[in-house]
Amino acid sequence: MSKEATGGLATAEKYYQDYGARVRELKRQGKKIIGYLCAYVPLEIITAAGFMPFRIKGNVNEPITKADTQMETIVCPLVRSCFDLSLKGDYDFLNGLVIPHACDSICRTYDIWKYTLGLPYSHIINMPHGTDDSSLKFFKELLNTFRKSLGKFAGEEISDDSLAQTVKAYNDNRAKVRELLELRRLEPPQISGTEITKALVAAMSIPVEESISLLNSIIGEVKQKTGVPTKKSARIMVVGAQVDDAAFIKLIEDTGAWIVVDDLCPGTREYWSDVDVTDDPIDGLAERYLRKIKCGRTYREQKGTYAEYLEDRFGHIGQFVKDFRVDGVILYIYKYCDPFGFEVPTLKSYLQSLETPALYLEDQYSMPTIARLRTRIQAFLEMLG
């Protein structure tokens, strides 16, 4: 393919700017495209069924207009933006839509998506909140229902072998992403948060094997880069829901900070844990998607003391702060986001206990609202000194 020639970062930039370009090509070649929202859809199953999974993303530069005729404005602005773009034809290549039980904003709008877009296939993976054994068992049943239903749509059942293959492929892909993210441990980090976001967004829009080679070429390219000595800057971690647009990340880096790690989608939340290879592939998938991904949407039962409970919920963030030598954390929460919004006081005090300064920002996923955050971010950096 032509993209190796142009270099990884350039290709990522291309796919980021013209999001879905690769999918349109594949569509022309007769590939069926299944759109999905959020990190909780097991892509392994969609790919094993012979479909191309495509992450529906928003666009902070596109004013939300059409969506308002069907969807209340009290919905998460990211979901509204995604739906708005779909109505405007940006994703007119979809053959189906799969959404997980992630949050109210996604699930309560499912009917609107389903009937308005009128796609041949749609399915909601009604995953439980809980992570206890009976919840896990239930989740496996749900995944089998999904597997069956998607197989029906594909015209043939999804075999264990093909699942085993895709499980491996996506694990390899995650490993590659981790390798890329690790490049930011260094001082100075070898790759900017903006570049990372664009790379990961591009990766969401191309087949997994292409994603692996894209990531490979990016890593190679970045490692060769004779790092221009940048002046020492604050090392920032961003925590939030889905940040699929580089605008906010860029805003932070333009104020002269480095984003060295995140707890975001796409980001560590989505790529830090793998699927175990199990006799019944569904076992490994269920375990990973329900228990290993740590997200506000999931209710993790309290075992032991409250302090241990906080460790279980937020320990990974504390670990990142330590490993990536984070100076300050920015909590970037969308308006109307119940799963993340309710965690702010607890998470803020958890970070306080680590003596890590935190800045809580609420945003509405639009360029003007993001631009208004600049002063707060600069002040935060001035505060970190």
Which residues in the 96-125 window bind other proteins by CB under 8 A? 101, 103-105, 107-112, 114-116, 121-124
Per-residue x/- track, 141-170, other proteins (CB under 8 A): x---x--xx--xx-----------------
Judged by beta carbon, residue 12 or residue 333, the one nearer other proteins is: 333
Instruction: Quote the CA–CA distance of 368 and 297 in Å, as a whole number.
Output: 28
The span of 29-37, 166-174, 286-294, 372-380 binding other proteins (CB under 8 A) equals: 372-380
Instruction: Quote the CA–CA distance of 62 and 276 in Å, as a whole number.
Output: 40
Other beta carbons less than 10 A from residue 209's beta carbon: 12
Judged by beta carbon, residue 15 or residue 139, the one nearer other proteins is: 139
Q: Closest separation between CB of residue 66 and other proteins, Å?
A: 7
Residue among 59, 57, 54 nearest 35 (CA): 54
Tell which positions 35-94 bind other proteins, by CB under 8 A.
61, 63-66, 68-75
Judged by beta carbon, residue 6 or residue 65, the one nearer other proteins is: 65
Q: Closest separation between CB of residue 113 and other proteins, Å?
A: 10
Ordered alpha helix ranges (H), the chain: 3-6, 8-17, 21-28, 43-48, 77-87, 104-107, 110-117, 133-154, 160-182, 193-204, 208-224, 247-254, 268-271, 281-286, 306-323, 338-341, 344-353, 367-371, 374-384
CB-side neighbour CA atoms (13 Å) of 161: 0
Considering CB under 8 A, how many residues would be counted as binding other proteins?
84
348 touches other proteins by CB under 8 A: yes
Q: Closest separation between CB of residue 150 and other proteins, Å?
A: 8
Torsion of CA 10, 272, 297, 109, to 10 degrees: 30
Q: Closest separation between CB of residue 25 and other proteins, Å?
A: 28
Q: Closest separation between CB of residue 103 and other proteins, Å?
A: 6
Question: Of residues 213, 344, 354, 356, which one binds other proteins by CB under 8 A?
Answer: 344
130 touches other proteins by CB under 8 A: yes
364 touches other proteins by CB under 8 A: yes
Judged by beta carbon, residue 122 or residue 194, the one nearer other proteins is: 122
Question: Of residues 154, 164, 335, 354, which one binds other proteins by CB under 8 A?
Answer: 335
**With 0-12 CB in 10 A as exposed, 13-18 as middle and 19+ as buried, what is 265?**
buried
Tell which positions 274-313 bind other proteins, by CB under 8 A.
296-297, 299, 301-302, 306, 309
Judged by beta carbon, residue 220 or residue 368, the one nearer other proteins is: 368
Instruction: Quote the CA–CA distance of 227 and 127 in Å, as a whole number.
Output: 45
- 22, amino acid identity: R
Give the torsion sign (CA, 176, 189, 315, 267). Answer: negative
